[in-house]
Amino acid sequence: MTSPTRLKKAVAFVNKHSGRVSSSDLHDLREELKKPLIASGFDVEFVIDDCPSLMEAAPKCHPDADYYIVIGGDGTIAALADIVTKLPGERKPVFLPLPFGTANMFTRDIGFPVDPWQALEAAITADTATVDIARVNGRAFLNNVVLGTFAEVAEARENFRVADNLHDKMLSLVESADALFYSSEHRYRVQMDNHAEEVSTNTIIVSNNAFHGSVDGVPHRDRLDTGMLAVYLTETHGGIDFLARVAEAVLGELATSDAVDLRDCKRCSIAPRDGEPIHYTVDGEILESEGPLVFEIVPGALRVPRLPNLEQ
């Protein structure tokens, strides 16, 4: 007697506090997710909670899971990706993040359609490929880390978002304008593999693989499997320079800019040299550090669906 064919198992991790999810009906979202999975022969389990709880649950779902599907913002996606890379054993689940964020840089760069349900249907029938992740001070990121004015402006913007009265909103607008127009450079010691140098700038970008142009105003990476960090040292010393670098990023011209020195490396450290803390963003999340930031690339750490953008 022939034994029944084993159903593939997918575990869907849903951050219920993520912006786009929090405004959705969770029952409808579950049903929309289940339809294509069941039709393709999957058994589906759901974990719906906040990001810390998802991170706690993820290692326990590993032994018999074929796919980890993640619905949430960039922070949720990076946190779950990091856990997947650290799961024991050689057989790790395929990592399938759906584009439920704002820019959706990672899902775009692995070739997913911007519509999450189209992305799901394409991904569950695709072959797989491995891609790199990067870490800064042990924390995983899939896209990039930006130091300097960008983080300062982003912090003011976040203060505006959470302000609950007109007075605080006005203060945050003034703070944002000050961060932009009175942007000042900082001194850093940057070590890339075995080479070190001192730089003065208000913007440094460290990317998980290099940008090549942009799509719909979002910087784009042709590959995520080179095993290299891309460090963008910019000649950016004030607010006008900063806006010029932003425009170059939107237009996909960072790599060809005369004001940008692009370096590739496997390991990088950036230390403050002016006594000021480093303000930076990790895949959009605003952070601050008194000490150095240490970056490393982890080649081929993550197995993802192979869609056209990954056909090398």
As a whole number, mean pLDDT of residues 97-117 equals 90
Query: What is the C-alpha separation between 72 and 97, in angstroms, rounded?
Result: 8
CA nearest to 119, candidates 300, 304, 302: 304
pLDDT the model gives residue 36:
92
Non-local (6+) Cβ contacts of 63 within 8 A are none
Query: What is the C-alpha separation between 305 and 122, in angstroms, rounded?
Result: 9
Lowest-confidence region among 79-83, 96-100, 101-105, 202-206: 101-105
Mean of the per-residue pLDDT values of the chain: 85
Pick the CATH number of 144-300 from 2.60.200.40, 2.160.10.10, 3.40.50.920, 3.40.50.880: 2.60.200.40
Q: Which CATH number describes the domain made up of 8-126?
A: 3.40.50.10330
Residue 68 — pLDDT band, cuts 50, 70, 90? very high
CA nearest to 97, candidates 222, 280, 283: 283
Cα maximum dimension of the chain: 77
Measured from the Cβ of residue 250, the count of other Cβ atoms closer than 10 Å reads 14
Q: What is the pTM of this model?
A: 0.87
Non-local (6+) Cβ contacts of 281 within 8 A are 145, 146, 150, 151, 154, 287
pLDDT the model gives residue 187:
94
As a whole number, mean pLDDT of residues 41-60 equals 92
Please report, rounded to a whole number, the percentage of residues in the chain having pLDDT higher than 90. Answer: 57
pLDDT the model gives residue 230:
98
Lowest-confidence region among 29-43, 52-66, 146-160: 146-160
CA nearest to 69, candidates 41, 90, 48: 48
pLDDT the model gives residue 6:
63
Same fold flag, 8-126 and 144-300: no
pLDDT the model gives residue 309:
59
Ranges of each domain in the chain: 8-126, 144-300
pLDDT the model gives residue 183:
61
pLDDT the model gives residue 178:
47
Residue 153 — pLDDT band, cuts 50, 70, 90? low
- For residues 226 and 169, the model is more confident at 226
Residue 158 — pLDDT band, cuts 50, 70, 90? very low
Lowest-confidence region among 12-21, 113-122, 220-229: 12-21
pLDDT the model gives residue 5:
58
Lowest-confidence region among 1-10, 170-179, 219-228: 170-179
Non-local (6+) Cβ contacts of 65 within 8 A are 9, 10, 11, 45, 93
Please report, rounded to a whole number, the percentage of residues in the chain having pLDDT higher than 70. Answer: 86
pLDDT the model gives residue 97:
95
